[in-house]
Structure 1
Amino acid sequence: MPESTQPVREVCNARPLSNTVGLFAFLLLGMGLLVQACEQDGLVPTGPELAAATASRSLKVTGGGTGGGRVTAPSLGGAGALDCQIAAGTYDPIECTKTYSRNTVVQLTVAADPGSSFKEWRGACSGTASTCTVRMDVNRQARAVFKGTATPSFQLNVGGSGDGGGTVTSQAGLTPNVDCTISAGSPVSGNCSRGYPSGTSVVLTAAAASGHTFDGWSGDCTGTGTCNLTIGANRSVTANFSGPPGPEATFGEWASSQSAPVIGLHLSLLPSGNALMWGHGGEPQLWNAVGGSFTQIPNQTCGNPAACELFCSGHTFLGDGRLLVAGGHNETLGDNNGLTQASAFDGSGWQATGSMTYPRWYPTLVTLENGDVVALSGNRTPSLNASIPERWSGNAWAVLTGANQTLPLYPRAFVEPKNGHVFVAGEGTVRMLNPNGAGSWSPGPARLVNDRSYGSAAMLDSKVLYAGGGGGGCPTTPNRSAEIIDLAAPSPAWTPTGSMAVGRRQTNLTILPDGKVLVTGGSGQCGFSNEAGAQFAAEVWDPATGQWTTLANAGVVRVYHSTTTLLPDGRVMSTGSGDGAGVTQQFSYEVFSPPYLFKGPRPTYDLASTSMRYGQTFTVATPNAAAIRKVTLIRLASSTHAFDMGQRLNTLVFQAAADGRSLTLTPPSAGRIAPPGPYLLFILNDRGVPSVAQTVLLSQ
């Protein structure tokens, strides 16, 4: 050994080390040279500093050439069996590297793939024999070189994602086979990487572990069925697994309450995904969905702020996507004194839209089939109802003199699908308004429950659901019951559906992406708005069964002047309560995540255009097309006083493309089925999980 390596000899012979010699030895050790130097000199390293470094040796098998094959070795020397699949000179860095106890004798055996032949060994092996014996006295690397034919080989790699686990296996008879175990979203054992000649057909099947769920493929396969591949290039697929669901998958989850600068007793979701809210006094506030911040947006279209007090107004979306707000609160005269103002919000500012003829306090606005808007009811003064409806069209209001009828405040009204007339479900007598010409009223089918005051109603395709309400005077308590009517039926009639777990008034119904309906808040005790009976548990109604299911509890009392809106991500915002009736002022909002958000990955989609036309097919690009089971349009929310004047569900017919990459949707055929304006578009997979929605503008 040269003089410069004398310190190495001292370590090899385990002599005591001086400080200088020890430092040099450890530098060599860090460079991976020390053991090699000892062995090249014929010495056995015995120093305590080398104990860990000399216990084992690694063997790496690589491939070369234009062909493919397999190199195997039995389990021995502290290592499992080596099974190295080589495809056109590649190798798997996990399966083709093993660590053995020092001096283990390993026999490697080579077998060529069909269409290939074994050429020779290189590195630690040599020659052309099918076997090679390697003594693991040092780290070794052996290279198997194959000659190929005109058929090239390619690599198939199987990976995992998610927080669950399972297995991925190939069809019976495939050689070599895929048998890959995935845990916590990562491959942990088995044959997860294989090489195959071009043209090989591979069928992969994913099976979730007990209590886990297979959520689908990504990469070179999509959907939730088998993964069918024809090998013609290197391929990579990922099997996505979810772990066992938590209680949130059954009950949903409320996020902690967040502060708000206003009591959001008027709440509208905007096409941008942000929300506009206001209360009594102050100016409207724009909530930013991304950061949760608020920006004041004054309405200065009236010149005098008191003339534009939007408290107790009505609101709905226009066909162009703007929010129309009409009526309001005469601050000088006080409650029950309305305003004639009407203005529209475009997402950043306000525009005047012409004043109504009659002041209105507590009116309902309804968007008609052609995009016009009808204003119903509202008080002009404490003793005088605005009994004559008005119709807005092109920035001008016209009174419907043939439809003079006193209605309860904030009537629950919807455009019906047969004639485009306005169906008033309550709160008082059921009626139908023909808004054309001078207007006219006709009687409607009586409800099963007469008193549904401050209950809530929502329209699902052609049906109206009406739940809760009543109990405003003690000792009568609010209703648990609900009823439904199909306005597309030849002779529409109210029929009972399942009852809620508790009675509620001052409550809110919110349509969810899957077509179910969420009920939140309200009071279960008698009186106008009895906070002592505040209901915290949400419930959800399933139209398929007609039954309600109790969900998680909110953290804040939400009674009189509470509101809700569905958000584009499928969550529900709940806010308001206060600004009247002696109710506690709630300057806050909460967000509820329904159970479907805890049931696995969400489908995704892209749109070439957000303009949707009546009756004209509409294409959605999605890698999840094969797994989509439902597509819904939900009109943007515009909520106040236990009623949402905006939301409306339309379930769409759709067809998945043969390649599984897109959906062709059939939009509603006319405005009487879905009034023009902004809608959230959701696609839902076979587990009922919705996408994040984009806003589309439905029009002629």
Structure 2
Amino acid sequence: MEPKDVGKWEPEFQLSNVCIHASLLPTSVGAGKILYWGRRKDPRNQDLTDVISMHEHQTSSFIMDLNAKGKPSTATANAPKDTKGDDVNLFCSGHTFQPDGTLLVVGGHWLDGMGIKQACIFNPFEGEGKWIPMQPMERGRWYPTAIKLPDGSILVVSGAAGGNPDPNPELWRGGKWGKVQYTQSMILYPRLCIDPKGTGAVFMSGPMAISQWLHPPVFGSTNTVGAWDEQTAKREGGQREYSPSVMYNSGKVIFIGGGADGDKVPESSCELIDLTEPTPKWKQAKQSMAFARRQHNATILPNGKVLVTGGSSGAGFNNVSFKDAAHKERWPVHTPELWDPITQEWTKMAPEGFDRCYHSTALLLPTGQVLSAGGGEWIPDDTQQCNHQEDTLTNAQIFNPPYLFDAQNQPATRPTISNAPGSVDYGGKITVTLGAHDDVGRVTWMHIGSVTHCNNQSQSFLDLTFNDKSLPKLEIDAPVSSNIATPGHYMLFVLNKKGVPAIAPIIRLNAAPALVPSHKVLAKHVAVEDHVPLDLHAHSAQMVADQKRPPVVLGLTPLCPYGLGPCWGGAYEALQHISDVELVRPLPNKEDSLAFVYTAHDILPDIDIWRSEFQRLAGGAYTWRGIEMTLSGVVTATGGDELTLAGNDSRPDLSLAPFQQSSKIEWDLATSSLKPMSEAEAGAYKRLAAAVTKSPGTPLQVTGTLQKLGDGKFQLDVKDFEAVGA
């Protein structure tokens, strides 16, 4: 394998902690400067099983200067704190750049699944960089996504405060927070980008199967009500967690791999959508990756191709274990793959030297190289055969893509750029000076990246038109709309006719005037000023009060290790689309890992169909433990100790059976096992038989786990019972 075909990795170098959050600073020159932080101050000297150390409440942040590679990173001038002066941990936060080049960081870590309200700004223009506490958000957020809107505001979506991801985003605008009221359940770290059409709505591509458009309140309006578009787009691959989604050109999005459950490996397939079409729809990409992946990163290169690095191909949340003890085959994927949007084909690249799985990062540098770093720093799962200390990586490598090598596998001669402006207005001209003998094949515009958890919350790409008639002076047309390029800092890549990029200067695209709302869906919500904020607990309680029948209870174990509360969004969406389900309670029981649905009629759900539909829609992100129902009717003894519950016009008779430990659907997250059966549950069937003998013909309400015995034949393992209306 030659570098001109597969690229080349440079030797590893050490960092000060695990690079879980990484952002390319706008002050970068040459190779670039990276702000980064991890979970703990110094994981190399701490035991991964030490629960206290895994939940530190401070952040050790550093600046990596790649022009001085090999030298130790420099600690930031100060550490992040909240407005009270207390330390905060920015692990599991969301972050994106503001138009002025400062980095807004929101949320963070208190415990797994429990976020904090903090908001702070990192100012890279003050000395070596300074953290500044901001007004806290109204809600704690763990795993939120922050996205910059066309008007320069920052929309913060999702994130858990200790339960479900919050469906109500918050809007950072004019230096303060405002509420944005939506009525949708939300998944952790939603993948967001700006739709270039209309007012620049926010497009959510995943990880949930149903993609949606949402419209924040417009600039200058006192309205706090955002609008979900009625239009949706469905990915056939279903829910796919821990997978990247990137807008590789204006309005064109690729969703790459991801998804898995305890028994299945992740996907290698990819799906595409073009938001510029009148009715955008997802479609399968022409070719899948050579490797199935989960926990991988996707980086857009200056030539528009997409580089995928790292990830695990094994089943499970973050499988870095041996395939089997005899063969010592490991699941982490070391071979990157490069996707060409023109041919839609994948090409294997030179293998990386380390596992880059959960908590790894990848960033494009001004040199056209890619930084790959981090991985690890997660609480061990004793069921996996792996060395978690070994897979907590405080190192990094830099990848040189094939375009940096000539036909003899020597470093390619780059074009050069000088006299680049520091900023430009929308619709303006960017004039730069190239080398005396340079030619120009393409000019591209790349927003500086900010990445964590497979989710680059600032990455975007655009081709720019140019005039090369007066070389070495090159005149380039700046973007004309903030829908296609939000205000902020961009790398300007000039590629010669051989596709070799110059080292990119970083140029600020100045903020555009406030947008005027024009989208019909948005317009009909603008006048609503008295919308009541969504309270999920009140909404759930009202749903219970309104129903005439007990719910169908589903036991669901999420693949993610944080429980059904934080990892609820995908299940909520999938349950709404399975056969005969009319309503889904917006809140699960996170303590027992249970979901509650209501059917349109008094029926027995076909367990096989429900399970199949759910797993397809949820992308294998949950294990289906079983169904519990409460049914009313007359119980009769059919001979011996056998009992039968009478059916009705909409459901058949079904046999009753004693409750077993295997009938239990309540889950214990701490022990990763079913909760133990109680004595009352074990004796429920005998008590029911005695009650039927004593008072035959009395209508009863029987609760138990539903089992399918065959076509049209069902059994209920009796857990409890009572007289109808008791």
**TM-score range relative to shorter protein:** 0.5 to 0.7
Aligned equivalents of 2:467 and 2:437: distance in 1? 9
Match of 2:302 in 1: 513
Conservation of the 8 A alpha-carbon contact between 2:81 and 2:87: no
Match of 2:441 in 1: 629
Match of 1:270 in 2: 25
Conservation of the 8 A alpha-carbon contact between 2:420 and 2:430: no
The residue type equivalent to 1:590 in the other structure is Q
Match of 1:349 in 2: 130
Deviations 1:124-152 (A, max 9, x none): xxxxxxxxxxxxxxxxxxxxxxxxxxxxx
Q: Secondary structure at the match of 1:405?
A: coil
Q: Secondary structure at the match of 1:627?
A: coil
Match of 1:589 in 2: 396
Seq. identity, %: 37
Alignment of 1:636-647 (within 5 A): 636-647=448-459
Match of 1:447 in 2: 235
CA deviation after TM superposition for structure 1 residue 633, in Å = 0.8
Select the residue among 422, 425, 435 that pairs with 1:610: 422
Match of 2:9 in 1: 254
Match of 1:50 in 2: none
What is the aligned-residue RMSD (CA, Å)? 1.5
Select the residue among 274, 279, 283 that pairs with 2:38: 279
CA deviation after TM superposition for structure 1 residue 451, in Å = 2.7
Change (3 A) 1:342 1:254: same
Q: Secondary structure at the match of 1:362?
A: coil
Conservation of the 8 A alpha-carbon contact between 1:529 and 1:581: no
CA deviation after TM superposition for structure 1 residue 290, in Å = 1.1
Alignment of 1:320-359 (within 5 A): 320-330=100-110, 334-347=111-124, 348-359=129-140
Conservation of the 8 A alpha-carbon contact between 2:117 and 2:141: yes
Select the residue among 256, 263, 267 that pairs with 1:479: 267
Match of 1:500 in 2: 289
CA deviation after TM superposition for structure 1 residue 448, in Å = 2.5
Aligned equivalents of 1:264 and 1:304: distance in 2? 27
Match of 2:584 in 1: none
The residue type equivalent to 1:338 in the other structure is G
Select the residue among 484, 487, 498 that pairs with 1:687: 498
1:523 matches 2:309: no
Aligned equivalents of 2:62 and 2:361: distance in 1? 15
Conservation of the 8 A alpha-carbon contact between 1:389 and 1:404: no
Conservation of the 8 A alpha-carbon contact between 1:454 and 1:506: yes
Select the residue among 291, 295, 300 that pairs with 2:68: 291
Q: Secondary structure at the match of 2:258?
A: coil
Match of 2:168 in 1: 388
Aligned equivalents of 1:388 and 1:424: distance in 2? 15
Aligned equivalents of 1:609 and 1:686: distance in 2? 24
Q: Secondary structure at the match of 1:615?
A: coil
Select the residue among 166, 169, 185 that pairs with 1:406: 185
Aligned equivalents of 2:105 and 2:201: distance in 1? 21
Change (3 A) 1:492 1:441: same
1:545 matches 2:325: no
Conservation of the 8 A alpha-carbon contact between 2:421 and 2:432: no
Q: Secondary structure at the match of 2:483?
A: coil
Match of 1:372 in 2: 153
Conservation of the 8 A alpha-carbon contact between 1:618 and 1:666: yes
Conservation of the 8 A alpha-carbon contact between 2:335 and 2:352: yes
The residue type equivalent to 2:483 in the other structure is R
Conservation of the 8 A alpha-carbon contact between 1:561 and 1:579: yes
Q: Segments of 4+ in structure 1 off by > 6 A?
A: none
Q: Structure 2: where are the runs of 5+ without partners? A: 42-59, 218-222, 321-329, 381-387, 407-411, 513-726
Conservation of the 8 A alpha-carbon contact between 1:355 and 1:396: no
Match of 2:656 in 1: none
Aligned equivalents of 2:379 and 2:479: distance in 1? 42
Change (3 A) 1:300 1:640: closer
Select the residue among 444, 462, 467 that pairs with 1:650: 462
CA deviation after TM superposition for structure 1 residue 607, in Å = 2.8
Aligned equivalents of 1:313 and 1:545: distance in 2? 36
Q: Secondary structure at the match of 1:319?
A: coil
Aligned equivalents of 2:445 and 2:146: distance in 1? 20
Aligned equivalents of 1:504 and 1:481: distance in 2? 9
Q: Secondary structure at the match of 1:262?
A: coil
Select the residue among 489, 506, 510 that pairs with 1:678: 489
Q: Secondary structure at the match of 1:338?
A: coil
Deviations 1:407-436 (A, max 9, x none): 110000011101211100001131111011
CA deviation after TM superposition for structure 1 residue 639, in Å = 0.6
Q: Secondary structure at the match of 2:184?
A: coil
CA deviation after TM superposition for structure 1 residue 484, in Å = 1.2
The residue type equivalent to 1:261 in the other structure is S
Aligned equivalents of 2:507 and 2:462: distance in 1? 13
Aligned equivalents of 1:306 and 1:538: distance in 2? 41
Aligned equivalents of 1:312 and 1:679: distance in 2? 25
Aligned equivalents of 1:352 and 1:556: distance in 2? 36
CA deviation after TM superposition for structure 1 residue 306, in Å = 5.9
The residue type equivalent to 1:294 in the other structure is S
CA deviation after TM superposition for structure 1 residue 608, in Å = 4.4
Aligned equivalents of 1:590 and 1:608: distance in 2? 29
Conservation of the 8 A alpha-carbon contact between 1:421 and 1:432: yes
Aligned equivalents of 1:306 and 1:564: distance in 2? 31
Conservation of the 8 A alpha-carbon contact between 1:565 and 1:639: yes
Match of 1:560 in 2: 358
Aligned equivalents of 1:524 and 1:359: distance in 2? 33
Match of 1:420 in 2: 200
CA deviation after TM superposition for structure 1 residue 335, in Å = 1.1
Aligned equivalents of 2:283 and 2:467: distance in 1? 33
Aligned equivalents of 1:366 and 1:253: distance in 2? 33
Aligned equivalents of 1:305 and 1:539: distance in 2? 45
Alignment of 1:3-402 (within 5 A): 247-271=2-26, 272=28, 273-282=32-41, 283-292=60-69, 293-297=72-76, 298-302=78-82, 307-330=87-110, 334-347=111-124, 348-381=129-162, 383-401=163-181
TM-score normalised to structure 2 length: 0.60
Change (3 A) 1:662 1:486: same
Deviations 1:348-388 (A, max 9, x none): 1112232111110000000000110000000011x232210
Conservation of the 8 A alpha-carbon contact between 1:604 and 1:624: no
Deviations 1:640-662 (A, max 9, x none): 1111111100111111124x212
The residue type equivalent to 2:298 in the other structure is L
Question: Whose radius of gyration is greater, 1 or 2?
Answer: 1
Conservation of the 8 A alpha-carbon contact between 2:24 and 2:450: yes
Q: Secondary structure at the match of 1:499?
A: coil
Q: Structure 1: where are the runs of 5+ without partners? A: 1-245
Match of 1:491 in 2: 279
CA deviation after TM superposition for structure 1 residue 255, in Å = 1.1
CA deviation after TM superposition for structure 1 residue 623, in Å = 3.0
Q: Secondary structure at the match of 2:417?
A: coil
TM-score normalised to structure 1 length: 0.63
The residue type equivalent to 2:143 in the other structure is Y
Q: How many residues align?
A: 448
Conservation of the 8 A alpha-carbon contact between 2:79 and 2:87: no
Conservation of the 8 A alpha-carbon contact between 2:83 and 2:133: no
Relative contact order, higher structure (CA 8 A, sep 6+) = 2
Select the residue among 665, 669, 687 that pairs with 2:480: 669
The residue type equivalent to 2:372 in the other structure is S
Aligned equivalents of 1:451 and 1:404: distance in 2? 20
